């Protein structure tokens, strides 16, 4: 499949940002970080028509951009970490809404099944790992863990309700998002480890790209069937 030219800014920003993280150039990393979601917005809005759905996608990307900016300053002021957490929590809530509505059927209710426990168990394990270091962040971290697990669950609920390409793009993207946030949580509240920042951003970039690509695939398949 030919890569759209509108993806080139995102790929360029991602490459420069990841290189800066890998080579430990914090100024360049901080400069390019807010550009990542802007690059995805350029790609998304050039590939699909303006609809109610596109407004929600842009809202999720904008909230993610805010989260990225807040986290840049989290080392200087702890309040910025909380603001970043709140921004991404809201972004995940928007993605949950999108997942529930990004289907080809009228069945948009969230019905929990036994296999959803896999997400819950994973979230519980990660939370237990970071719990000793949370202190005042206990409630926000617990709330965030619950929300991101539900985001993963709603992505999995699209199975059989949409085309396979869109499902797998978004499903794998959701898993990468969970992995990215897990690495961030362990590094922040558990045991810091080398190149955690690089791994956080690598998995985050993959996650956001795959989710947006999956939404684009869904909208295009929907338009093709009209």
String of DSSP letters for 31-67: HHHHHHHHHHHHHHHHHS---HHHHHHHHHHHHHHHH
Helices (H), 102-195: 117-130, 138-156, 164-189
State residue 88's pLDDT score.
97
State residue 122's pLDDT score.
95
SS3 1: coil
Over residues 138-155, the pLDDT tens digits come to 999 999 999 999 999 999
Backbone φ and ψ for 191, nearest 5 degrees, come out as -110, 110
Say if residues 99 and 122 touch (Cβ distance below 8 Å).
Answer: no
Percent of the chain with pLDDT over 90: 77
State residue 192's pLDDT score.
86
Over residues 38-63, the pLDDT tens digits come to 999 999 999 988 888 899 999 999 99
Tell me the whole-structure pTM to 2 decimals: 0.94
């Amino acid at each position: 499949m030919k890569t759209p030219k509108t993806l080139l800014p995102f790929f360029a920003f991602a490459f420069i940002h990841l290189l800066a993280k890998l080579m430990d150039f914090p100024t360049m990393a901080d400069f390019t970080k807010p550009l990542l979601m802007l690059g995805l917005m350029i790609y998304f809005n050039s590939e699909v028509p303006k609809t109610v759905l596109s407004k929600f996608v842009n809202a999720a990307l904008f909230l993610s951009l805010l989260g990225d900016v807040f986290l840049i300053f989290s080392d200087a002021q702890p309040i910025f970490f909380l603001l970043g957490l709140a921004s991404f929590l809201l972004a995940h809530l928007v993605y949950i809404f999108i997942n529930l509505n990004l289907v080809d059927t009228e069945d948009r209710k969230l019905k929990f099944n036994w296999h959803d426990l896999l997400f819950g168990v994973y979230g519980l394990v990660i939370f237990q790992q970071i719990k000793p270091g949370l202190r005042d962040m206990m409630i926000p971290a617990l709330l965030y863990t619950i929300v991101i697990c539900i985001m993963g669950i709603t992505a999995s609920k699209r199975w059989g309700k949409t085309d396979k390409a869109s499902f797998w793009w978004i499903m794998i993207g959701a898993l990468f998002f969970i992995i990215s946030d897990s690495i961030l949580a362990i590094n922040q509240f558990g045991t810091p480890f080398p190149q955690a920042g690089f791994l956080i951003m690598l998995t985050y970039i993959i996650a956001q790209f795959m989710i947006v690509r999956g939404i684009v695939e869904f909208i295009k398949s929907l338009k093709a069937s009209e």
